[in-house]
Amino acid sequence: MTVENHAHTPAKRPVWPAILTGLKCRCPNCGEGRLFDKWLKVTPQCTVCNEELHHEQAQDFPPYITIMIVGHVVVTLLMVVESKVELSLAAHLAIWIPMATVMTLAIMQPVKGGVVGLQWALRMFGFGESRKS
């Protein structure tokens, strides 16, 4: 006779909705509370649903994703412009460095939010130990 223990099996958390909610910088549990206290500082607990968010350990993954996105966009645009127009080195520096900087600053927080949403959905780094499921 086998005994199945469903009482300890936590409910599945949908991954893509959690990532998309994190990209909006909202709590992956309720979708309403703010995910960040400061620019990249995740709030310890959601002010709406009280979900504990201090477990996040995004670390170097958001910058890696950001570098990949910004690098692909900027290098592609650089190569297209270079093939169509002849610009001086100073003009290239004046265009691409500010563009890369602005893009990086614009997408870093949403990317980190998406990573936190992924960690929450997969119950990584203590998110599974929360009293909510």
User: Is pTM, for the whole model, over 0.75?
Assistant: yes
List, for residues 17-49, the tens digit of each pLDDT value. Answer: 999 999 999 999 999 999 999 999 999 999 999
Average pLDDT in the 87-109 region?
96
CA–CA gap between residue 58 and residue 87 (Å, rounded): 39
Residues 6+ away with beta carbon under 8 Å from 33? 26, 27, 43, 46, 47, 48, 49, 51
Read off the pLDDT band of 8 (50, 70, 90): low
Average pLDDT in the 57-64 region?
93
What is the pLDDT at residue 4?
57
Residue 28: CA count within 13 A, CB half-sphere: 32
Average pLDDT in the 68-86 region?
96
**Contact present, 53 and 46 (Cβ < 8 Å):** yes
- The answer to which of 15-19, 29-33, 87-91, 126-130 has the lowest mean pLDDT is 126-130
